[in-house]
C-alpha cells in the first residue's frame, strides 16, 4: 500500500487515510511538485513516500538524485564561469560520478534487511556460518532467562531449560529442549528429563512459529493438546503443572519474537 507523508506535521500513513487535495488551482503554481493528497489533520499537502524495496528501485531513485545534483552544479558553473570557490563544486561532480558507479555495482544480496526477530536472526546466522552456533548476542540475550545453549551442531542445535524436581532421592529434573533442525529449517520442543543419567528425549511437539504474533498461542495450544503424552512419555512431568511447563516454553518464545539488538 502506497504511503503518504504530510509536508507540515510529518505524519506518515496509508494513502487511504489522506484526503483528496482541495483548491488545486490556488495551491499549485507551474513548476510546483504536484500531489493528489492533503493531510486530514492539518490540511497541508502530503506527498507519496518512496519505499525502496529492490535494488532497481534504489538505483533508480539514487540516479535521479545524482542527475539533479549534476544538473544544479553544471548550471551554476555555466552561469557564473569557473571561479576559485567553485573548486568544491567540481569536487561534488567528481563525488556524484563516483557514487553513481558504486550504485551500479549493488547486488540484490547487498539489500538483505535486518532480521525482525531473534528467530530470524538465528536462521540467518546459520546460513552464514553453517556451524549451528547461536548468534553470540542471542546467547547473551537469553543469559538472564532460565534458558541456555545446550549443544550445537551442523544438523541440530538445542537450547535448554531445566526444572529441578525436589522430592527425589537422586538428582532429577524435567528438561525442556528447543531443538533447531537446520536441514528441515524447523524448530520443536522436546520434553525430556534427566534422572542423573543425562538428557533423555521425551515427547516432541511442533508449533507454528512463522507468524511471531501467533507463536505464543500456538505453543500454548500444542502443550495443552500434548500434555497427557508429555507426562506419560517421561516421568517427572506428572509432578509439574501444565502451567509451569507452558511458562517455561513461553519464556523462550517471548525472547525469540523480540527484535534483535
Ligand atoms: Zn499534517
For residue 216, report the distance from its CA to the centre of ligand 1, in Å.
Answer: 38
For residue 68, report the distance from its CA to the centre of ligand 1, in Å.
Answer: 27
Given a cut of 80, whether residue 41 has pLDDT beyond it is: yes
By C-alpha distance, which of 124, 184, 194 is closest to 160? 194
pLDDT of 48: 86
For residue 63, report the distance from its CA to the centre of ligand 1, in Å.
Answer: 29
Q: What is the mean pLDDT of the chain?
A: 88
By C-alpha distance, which of 167, 182, 177 is closest to 204? 177
**Could you give the CA distance from residue 202 to residue 172 in angstroms, rounded to a whole number?**
14
Does the pTM exceed 0.75? no
Packing angle of the helix pair 212-233, 242-256 (nearest 10 deg): 140
**Could you give the CA distance from residue 180 to residue 152 in angstroms, rounded to a whole number?**
9
pLDDT of 64: 86
- Higher per-residue confidence, 93 vs 252: 252
Residues in the chain: 261
**Neighbour-count burial of 140, counting CB atoms closer than 10 A to its CB (0-12 exposed, 13-18 middle, 19+ buried):** exposed
pLDDT of 88: 76
Do residues 180 and 158 make contact, with C-beta atoms less than 8 angstroms apart? yes
Collapsing DSSP to helix, strand or coil, 107 comes out as coil
Mean pLDDT of 97-123: 80
HSE-up (13 A, CA, CB side) for residue 204 = 11
**Could you give the CA distance from residue 217 to residue 203 in angstroms, rounded to a whole number?**
19
For residue 64, report the distance from its CA to the centre of ligand 1, in Å.
Answer: 27
For residue 252, report the distance from its CA to the centre of ligand 1, in Å.
Answer: 42
Given a cut of 80, whether residue 110 has pLDDT beyond it is: no
For residue 2, report the distance from its CA to the centre of ligand 1, in Å.
Answer: 17
For residue 45, report the distance from its CA to the centre of ligand 1, in Å.
Answer: 8
For residue 54, report the distance from its CA to the centre of ligand 1, in Å.
Answer: 29
For residue 6, report the distance from its CA to the centre of ligand 1, in Å.
Answer: 5
For residue 28, report the distance from its CA to the centre of ligand 1, in Å.
Answer: 18
| pLDDT tens per residue across span 116-165 | 899 999 999 999 999 999 999 999 999 999 999 999 999 999 999 999 99
Amino acid at each position: 500500500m502506497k504511503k503518504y507523508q504530510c509536508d507540515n506535521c510529518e505524519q506518515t500513513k496509508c494513502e487511504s487515510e489522506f484526503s483528496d487535495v482541495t483548491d488545486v488551482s490556488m495551491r499549485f503554481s507551474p513548476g510546483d511538485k504536484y500531489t493528489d493528497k492533503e493531510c486530514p489533520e492539518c490540511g497541508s499537502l502530503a506527498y507519496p513516500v518512496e519505499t525502496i524495496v529492490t535494488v532497481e528501485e534504489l538505483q533508480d531513485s539514487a540516479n535521479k538524485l545524482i542527475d539533479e545534483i549534476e544538473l544544479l552544479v553544471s548550471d551554476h558553473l555555466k552561469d557564473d564561469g569557473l571561479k576559485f570557490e567553485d573548486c568544491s563544486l567540481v569536487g561534488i561532480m567528481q563525488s556524484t560520478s563516483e557514487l553513481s558507479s558504486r550504485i551500479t555495482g549493488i547486488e540484490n544480496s547487498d539489500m538483505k534487511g535486518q532480521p525482525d526477530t531473534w528467530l530470524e536472526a538465528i536462521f540467518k546466522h546459520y546460513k552464514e556460518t553453517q556451524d549451528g552456533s547461536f548468534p553470540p548476542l542471542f546467547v547473551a540475550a537469553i543469559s538472564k532467562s532460565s534458558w541456555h545453549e545446550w549443544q550445537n551442531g551442523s544438523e541440530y542445535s538445542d537450547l535448554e531449560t531445566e526444572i529441578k524436581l525436589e522430592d527425589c532421592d537422586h538428582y532429577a529434573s524435567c528438561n525442556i529442549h528447543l531443538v533447531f533442525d537446520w536441514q528441515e529449517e524447523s524448530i520443536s520442543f522436546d520434553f525430556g528429563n534427566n534422572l542423573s543419567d543425562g538428557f533423555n528425549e521425551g515427547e516432541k511437539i511442533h508449533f507454528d512459529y512463522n507468524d511471531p504474533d501467533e507463536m505464543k498461542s500456538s505453543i500454548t495450544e500444542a502443550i495443552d493438546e500434548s500434555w497427557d503424552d508429555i507426562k506419560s512419555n517421561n516421568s517427572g512431568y506428572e509432578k509439574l503443572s501444565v502451567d509451569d511447563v507452558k511458562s517455561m516454553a513461553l519464556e523462550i518464545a517471548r525472547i525469540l519474537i523480540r527484535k534483535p539488538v
